Amino acid sequence: MAWVEHRHADAAALADALAATLHRQCERALVERGKALLALAGGRTPFPAYRALAASDLDWSRVTAMPTDERCVPHDHAACNLRGLREAMAGARGLTLQALTTRDGNPDASQAAARAMLAHHPDAFDVVVLGMGEDGHTASLFPGAPQLDAALDPARADGAVRVDPDPLPPEAPFARISLTASRLLHARCIILALTGHAKRAVLEQALADADPRRHPVAAILHAPSATVHVHWSP
Ligand SMILES: O=C1O[C@H](COP(=O)(O)O)[C@@H](O)[C@H](O)[C@H]1O
């Protein structure tokens, strides 16, 4: 397990630091490989950073981004992570945003569509930005979901699974499509962004207990191959 802590005074400072890191990693990818591939958490925490990043100067036509996970809702639904990314990244002219779901959000069709899309993007992500819920979920790897073991299986090559959180989280009570743990870990830079003392306590538990069935984020934090940059603010 390797992780590096970045503590910030408040959520605004965290957003500034996250945007600067994303910008630096994209620039390096463009110089070294001529393109950049990003997986970006949904929810709420990282969106100020995405808005700041989108206002920065990059050759966005060579950047592709996708959500780390998606709620199985139509693309115009308020809970759709892709919709949030589209709005936050509107200033990034030329950016390609890939969906993990079909337009109508049908879960099984979306799983097939996500796998087909990922087959066209076999390269390592240049950056993965992850969030975490107070139940220890990251992306949409939820504790107790019937598909969790499959999503954590390091041997899986399909990259994405349908996940049915059980119980459904009240703030977004939908089936999900999540990148698998192995696809998330196929990355040059992994960032976990979280705010607040309640999530800090969950992070400490996941650092102390490597069982990802209790805290799925542990699958990332304890992955032998990964260095995880944890950005936290009160
Ligand atoms: O449902 C989700 O929640 C997590 C955490 O979101 P946050 O707003 O508490 O930061 C997010 O990382 C994930 O992408 C999203 O689908």
Nearest CA to ligand 1 atom 7: 43
Model-level pTM? 0.98
Question: CA-to-CA distance for 47 and 45, rounded, in angstroms?
Answer: 6
The count of structural domains within the chain is: 1
DSSP string, 169-182: PTTS-S-EEEE-HH
User: Would you say the CB of residue 43 lies under 6 angstroms from ligand 1?
Assistant: yes
Cα–Cα distances in angstroms (integers) from residue 222 to residues 115, 136, 209, in the given order: 25, 14, 9
CATH number of the domain enclosing 200: 3.40.50.1360
Residue 164: how many other CB atoms lie within 10 Å: 16
User: Would you say the CB of residue 68 lies under 6 angstroms from ligand 1?
Assistant: yes
- ipTM score of complex: 0.98
pLDDT in tens, 18-59: 999 999 999 999 999 999 999 999 999 999 999 999 999 999
User: Would you say the CB of residue 136 lies under 6 angstroms from ligand 1?
Assistant: no
Residue type, 117: M
- Tell me how far the alpha carbon of residue 50 lies from the centroid of ligand 1, in angstroms: 14
Domain that holds residue 149: 2-233
Alpha helix ranges (H) inside the chain: 11-33, 47-54, 81-88, 107-119, 148-152, 181-185, 197-208, 218-221
